[in-house]
Amino acid sequence: MSEQMADPKVDTGLADPAARRALTSGFDAVPGAGKPDPILVVDNIVRQFGGMTAVDVQHLEVQRGLITALIGPNGAGKTTFFNLITGFDKPTTAGKGAHWAFDGRTLDKTSASSVAQAGMVRTFQLTKALSAMTVIDNMMLGAQNQAGENLLKSMFRGTWAKQEKEIEAKADELLARFKLFEKKNDYAGSLSGGQRKLLEMARALMSDPKMIMLDEPMAGVNPALTQSLLGHIQNLRDEGMTVLFVEHDMHVVRHISDWVAVMAEGRLVAEGAADTVMSDPAVIDAYLGAHHDTDLGDDALLTDEALEEIAEEVAAEDAEREAEEEAEGLR
Amino acid sequence: MRRGVAGLILALLLAPVLALISSGPASAVDTLCLPGPDKACIAGTIRTEDGPLADVKLTVTDEAGTATEVTTSETGKWNVQVEKEGPYVVKVDESTLPKDLVVDTGEVTVAAKFGVTKPALLTIRTADYSASTSKFDELVQSTVNGLRLGLLLALASVGLSLIYGTTGLSNFAHAEQVTLGGMLGYLLINQHGLGLWIGGLVVVILCAFTGWFQDRVLWQPLRRRGLGLTQMMIVTIGLSLALQYVYQYTVGARTVRVLQDNPSVREFGPVTITNQSIVAMVISVIVLAGVGYALLRTRIGRATRAVSDNPALASASGIDTDRVIRLVWTVAMGLAGLSGLLYALVTNGIKWDSGLQILLLLFAAVTLGGLGTAFGALIGAIIIGLVVELSPVLGMPGDFKYATALLILILLLLVRPQGLLGKPQRVG
Amino acid sequence: MDTIQFILNGMMREALSPQTAAVAIAVIGLNIHFGFTGLLNMGQSGFMLLGAYGFAISISNGLPMILGILFGFGAAFIFALVLGAPTLKLRGDYLAIVTISAAEIIRYVGRSALLVDFTGSAQGIPGSQYTTGFRNLSFFGTGSFTLIPFNYTDVADGAAWVRIIGWIVAIAVIVLIVMRFRSGNAFKGLLQSAGMAGLLVFGVLLLFFLFPVPYQSTGVSGWWVRFVAWGLALLCTLVVFLLVRSPWGRLLRGIREDEDAIRSLGKNVFSIKMQALIIGGLFGALGGMVYVLSSSVQPDSMGRSLTFFCYTALLLGGAATIFGPVLGSVLFFAGRIGIKYTAAAYVPDSIMSNQQTEQFSYIVVGVALMLIVIFRPQGILGNKRELRFNV
């Protein structure tokens, strides 16, 4: 762990599973439950596309220092929800009761860039590694408050050369940690899908975030890399960072999340610890609604293969939807 | 000439200044006065709406009161060279005018400047010429003109919008296809003596063929290569440049007309309109209605709209997108050709660079209606047509009528970027 | 032989012309927009025209030249703000449509009879009204000269073999220079830089040796205006080099690739795009001012076609490269004249009249633009892997 990395974080002692359990046991596991020390509080976020309500979350709190998973069947509005709270989309209820705050700072009218500056950094489902730039350039872009990004100073190397060196050193350490150091001067486009996910995560960490939001970090990643990704995520938590991630892979969710929130049809339908929430009738309903042929209630069927199949199916559907939206030229 | 500038401009002085962009970069007055470092020129043309007036006397008086007399040439032109900068009063000698003329502005002051030719605008009109034209009548006349322009623009912009919708391409060469319609009309009907109807039909078929051909040899292969949209857009710019100069190479830089003889005119109350314009408008309405019907009711039309809405989904649901796009190119170019042919018929003719100016109106129309929506383009085109023709009546200087349309576009983007019928954008 | 010499001399004159330098400066600005940031500015001629108007109108109304320059820049600055505000948050096509429209509005307004006292309407503002002050700054004296006193006619009376050898060497030098640039380390290390600089100087001297072109020292279109125009073009190239190697330049390239990624990293994308639009626009305005120094302010000469030529020059030289704009502009103008003269010299009049050669050269320009974009989008100097158009 480098100095810079450890620096902004406080050792919360949450590397200890018992301490984490203690944090999640003092309240009822109901949708919208209040947490002891929430870092993110969301109220009354509604997003409608035409007549369809994609997201309608009345209340959600995310506990500081834990890994929270946001799961739900295809079309549950998870990614849209992510877009809304990170400033990439505007709630229909904006100015009409929508309210969310991160670490005590109200974000109701904040742009995507300011959200990131506040310390809440996200990644994307379809990785947004900048393929025509080198890996190191990708990393350097992640650092905050760079003097050289000021137009007036940029022409004078002296004003930013020192900072640039420090940033590069930090980037090198992160790259080494994510096993990308050898690729430092390669174009990001030449990396594999999994490496791009790692790069995107490492890039997000360059900004020293308080909370990192991962949109399907495991989608399209091979099993070996998945293990290493999971390890990285847990390490981040152990170092005191809050993690919120969207995932379809139940196996992953069960494995690493301290808390699970379930969305279905845009609403928050359940919350709880990973093992208990799976048996929540609302969750089974939600998944059964989407996949009649799968009995999630039957533990025997909850084999990893079966779950992975579902996850793959869902991911494929999601990717298709994504591609459609992309094709519609929404950006 | 009175198209658009309409009504109140009763005499045109100094062609270069008032010549609208449609008549191209105006050539200078054929003046013998050459301004120099210590010489200034004052010049103008005396004419009524019926034509230039020869042998009219004018006096040009400087500050000191020294008067110079000039007489207009056969083309109504006159000019004076002066040796001093400063204000000069130009006055027309009304006794030298033919009878039955009314002088609206008989005296004007011009500030002469070394090295330049300054225009002096004097307005003279025939006594019976719409002296009584009311503001309302003008409004009606301009509205009809605006509708006419709007319908012609709609023919072209529906195609532009469909191409954008189905392929995502902003086709900068679309307006050159409009010009092509007029040019082919000139070559086939005027030069080779084909009948108007037969010739027109052949023109539209040829233009549609260019669309089919373009997609076959250019756009489809480029799509298959995976060429980016921006790159394709620059390809259309290259095509547009090349086509413009091909027209200039083959036809020349002059304005050409499809029919030589002057069209007969009808009057409906305050509205004066040529027979050709009526026919053009009727054809436009019929064709647009046909396109609309096809889009809404036929299988291929629904497929087109599906591709336009969501190419990936349409492709996934078994629609042959390549076929749809090929058809869209064919129809769009046919419509553009028709639009150009009608444009050349109802206005004074068409020129190698007419497309340059039409293109902006098309973009304005398409963006106004919402990029990629065919019906939005229709509405946008009508609005743009009306704005262009009505803004001079509503007090905008005639020179600025195209600028007004573009300004409205920019303002609209501020409040409703998706256009009138477009869907709001989402972040994926 | 003489015909070829005549054609090449013509190309040399066109390549050296101050207007070529002016367009190169505008293309440098366009490179910031399109090449580095991915902004589809289709109205660079509007920025140029505004710069030219600001400059010429101020001076012809008696203001000092420095104020004229400031007004030219000010006009372009405001233009960029006004255009960027509504469009930089939208998809790229909107910026294209709005900039091309706005540039045309500027031209229509400039042509308007209502503003004849300021803009001279369609006839424009003659150079004599604003260039005197600029020419008075010249320290080149009077008379005329060719750049180097020694040329091919001094060797063996300008025999054919001298010229042919000279041409072959010149081509070899140019190819060598381009290859060094393409390798990307033309100016890395002291030795390489010195070698490169030497090669460049040698190349230029060789060209002047082979194609001697005499001009007036200070006249309307003499060496003085050429000196200033090309000096400015090189200065602009240096500024762009400094800008794009910085973290700010890195941001631009990031935005070109994926705005959302940059936004998610906490950068104010809108503000950076606006900065890029303004900076590129100021280069455009400077280009406009230089453009009119040796001629007059003619609104119709700065219309859409000029923007399209700028794009052709940029893509020819290589978008997102440092020297691409200058190289592209020189090749574009010299190449067009070369085509025109060649057609005039070798195609009989019965097939192509003299006037048609001009149009023919523009047809070639259009087709060349299409071919470059399709087959070599990175241009001569560009890096194919780095260059990806993105909207």
Burial readout A272-291 (b: 16 or more C-beta within 10 A, e: otherwise): bbbeebbebeebbebbbebb
Whether the predicted pLDDT of C80 surpasses 50: yes
For residue B57, give its domain range.
15-126
CB within 8 Å of B69: residues ≥ 6 apart: B57, B58, B59, B60
Tell me if B68 is assigned to some domain: yes
Q: What CATH number does the domain located at A3-129+209-327 have?
A: 3.40.50.300
Q: State whether B122 and B139 are in the same domain.
A: no
**Dihedral sign (CA B329, B332, B338, B340):** negative
Quick one: closest CA in B to C352, which residue? B249
Q: Which of B18, B37, B234 sits opposite C369 (nearest CB)?
A: B234
The tokens describing B406, both together, are: 């573009």
Mutation choice for B interface testing from C95, C101, C125 by most B CBs within 10 A: C101
pLDDT in tens, C26-69: 999 999 999 999 999 999 999 999 999 999 999 999 899 999 99
At CB < 8 A and 24+ separation, what contacts does C180-186 make? C181/C321, C181/C323, C181/C381, C182/C380, C182/C381, C184/C383
Residues B164 and B224 placed together within one structural domain of the fold: yes
Q: Give the start-to-end residue ranges of the domains of chain A.
A: 3-129+209-327, 135-190
Containing A56, the helix (H) or strand (E) segment is: strand A52-63
| Alpha-carbon gap: C169 to the closest alpha carbon of chain B (Å) | 33
Encode burial over A10-29: b for 16+ CB neighbours within 10 A, e otherwise.
eebebeeeeebeebbeeeeb
Q: Which two tokens stand for residue A25?
A: 């046991």
Q: Are residues B393 and B261 in the same domain?
A: yes
Size of interface A-B (CB pairs under 8 A): 32
Asked if B310 is an interface residue toward chain A (Cβ–Cβ < 8 A), one would say yes
The answer to whether residues B147 and B23 belong to one domain is no
Task: Report the gap between the CA of B169 and the closest CA in chain A (Å).
Answer: 12
Q: pLDDT tens per residue, chain B (428 residues)? A: 333 333 322 222 222 222 332 333 333 344 467 777 778 888 888 877 777 788 888 888 887 777 888 888 877 888 888 888 878 888 888 777 777 777 777 778 888 877 777 778 777 776 655 545 677 888 888 899 999 999 999 999 999 998 988 888 889 999 999 999 999 999 999 888 888 889 999 999 999 999 999 999 999 999 888 888 888 999 999 999 999 999 999 888 888 888 877 778 888 878 888 888 888 999 999 999 999 999 888 888 888 888 887 777 777 777 888 889 999 999 999 999 999 999 998 887 888 888 888 888 998 898 888 877 788 889 999 999 999 888 888 877 777 878 888 888 878 877 777 777 776 543 32
Chain A nearest-CA distance from B427, in A, is 6
Q: What is the mean pLDDT of residues A178-193?
A: 85
Count of structural domains within chain B: 2
Question: How many CA within 13 A on the CB side of residue A73?
Answer: 17
Same domain for B218 and B257? Answer: yes
**Domain-located, residue B77:** yes
- Substitution target from A52, A84, A92, A324 for chain B, most B beta carbons within 10 A: A324
Binary contact (A154, C263; C-beta < 8 A): no
Query: Residue B310 is nearest to which of A49, A324, A331, comparing CB atoms?
Result: A324
Q: Which of B100, B126, B152 is the last residue of a domain?
A: B126
Q: Say yes or no: B280 and B377 in one domain.
A: yes
Tokens of B428: 């994926």
Taking the Cβ of residue B110 and every Cβ of chain C, the question of whether any pair is shorter than 8 Å is answered with no
Judging contacts by C-beta atoms under 8 Å, the chain C residues touching residue B170 are 93, 96-97
B204 and B228: one domain?
yes
Q: pLDDT tens, A214-249?
A: 888 887 778 888 888 888 888 888 888 898 988 877
Tokens 């068409």, residue located: B350
For residue C145, the distance in angstroms to the closest alpha carbon of chain B comes to 26
Task: Please indicate whether, in this complex, the C-beta atoms of C102 and B410 are within 8 angstroms of each other.
Answer: yes
Task: Give the pLDDT confidence of A13-61 residue by residue, as tens digits.
Answer: 677 777 777 777 777 777 777 777 888 888 888 888 767 788 888 888 8
Q: What is the rounded CA–CA span in Å between residue C53 and residue C77?
A: 14
Residue from C96, C91, C59 nearest C297 by CA: C59
Of the candidates B126, B157, B175, which is a domain's last residue? B126
CA distance A161 to chain C (A): 9
Closest chain C residue by Cα to residue A146 = C247
pLDDT at B238: 93
Q: For C220-229, what is each residue's pLDDT tens digit?
A: 788 899 999 9
Q: Are residues B73 and B162 in the same domain?
A: no
Do the chains contact at A49 and B426, CB–CB below 8 Å? yes
Does any CB of chain B come closer than 8 Å to the CB of residue A49? yes
- Specify the 3-state DSSP secondary structure of C305: helix
Nearest chain A alpha carbon to C386: A132
| Contact flag B116-C120 (C-beta cutoff 8 Å) | yes
The predicted-structure confidence for B112-170, as pLDDT tens digits, reads as follows: 877 777 778 777 776 655 545 677 888 888 899 999 999 999 999 999 998 988 888 88
Closest residue in A to B306 (Cα) is A328
Contact (CB<8Å) B311/A330: no
Alpha carbon distance A227, A242 (integer Å) = 19
Residue B114 shares a structural domain with residue B143: no
Q: Which residue of B has its CA nearest to C34?
A: B230
CB contact under 8 A, A140 and C250: yes
Query: Is B315 within 8 Å of chain A by CB?
Result: no
How many Cβ contacts (< 8 angstroms) between chains A and C?
Answer: 113
Q: What is the pLDDT of residues B184-230, one digit of tens each?
A: 999 999 888 888 889 999 999 999 999 999 999 999 999 888 888 88
Element (H, E) at C136: helix C132-136
Kindly state whether residues B108 and B196 are assigned to the same domain: no
As a whole-number percent, the residues of chain C with pLDDT over 90 amount to: 45
Task: Round to the nearest angstrom and report the end-to-end CA distance of chain B.
Answer: 51
Q: How many Å apart are CA B76 and CA B45, to the nearest integer?
A: 5
Q: Is residue B268 situated within a structural domain?
A: yes
Q: Is A124 on the interface with C (CB under 8 A)?
A: yes
Cβ-nearest to A327 among B311, B426, B427: B311
Long-range contacts of B209-213 (CB under 8 A, 24+ apart): B209/B330, B210/B177, B210/B180, B210/B333, B210/B337, B211/B177, B211/B329, B211/B330, B211/B331, B211/B332, B211/B333, B211/B334, B212/B326, B212/B329, B212/B330, B212/B333
Q: Ramachandran region of residue C151, left (φ > 0), alpha (ψ -120 to 50) or beta?
A: beta
> C265, A204: Cβ pair inside 8 Å?
yes
CATH code where residue B176 lies: 1.10.3470
> Is the CB of C101 less than 8 angstroms away from the CB of B406?
yes
Closest C-alpha among B333, B172, B241, B332 to residue C97: B172
Place of tokens 């105006």: B26
The mean predicted confidence, pLDDT, of chain C is 88
Q: Are residues B228 and C356, on separate chains, in Cβ contact within 8 Å?
A: no
> By C-alpha distance, which of C115, C89, C92, C102 is closest to C49?
C102
B44: domain CATH number is: 2.60.40.10
> Any chain A CB within 8 A of the CB of B426?
yes
The pLDDT value given to residue A318: 59
**Domain end marker among B126, B150, B171:** B126
CB-based contact, B131 to chain A, within 8 Å? no
Count of other CB atoms within 10 angstroms of residue B209? 14
Query: Contact A149/C269 with Cβ under 8 angstroms?
Result: no
Over the stretch A59-113, which tens digit does the pLDDT of each residue have? 888 888 888 888 887 777 888 888 888 888 888 887 777 888 888 888 877 788 8
| Residue C291 burial by Cβ neighbours in a 10 Å radius (0-12, 13-18, 19+) | buried
Within this chain, do residues B386 and B356 fall inside the same structural domain, yes or no?
A: yes
The answer to whether A137 contacts chain C (CB < 8 Å) is yes
Q: For chain B, give the mean pLDDT.
A: 80
Is the residue at B8 inside a domain?
no
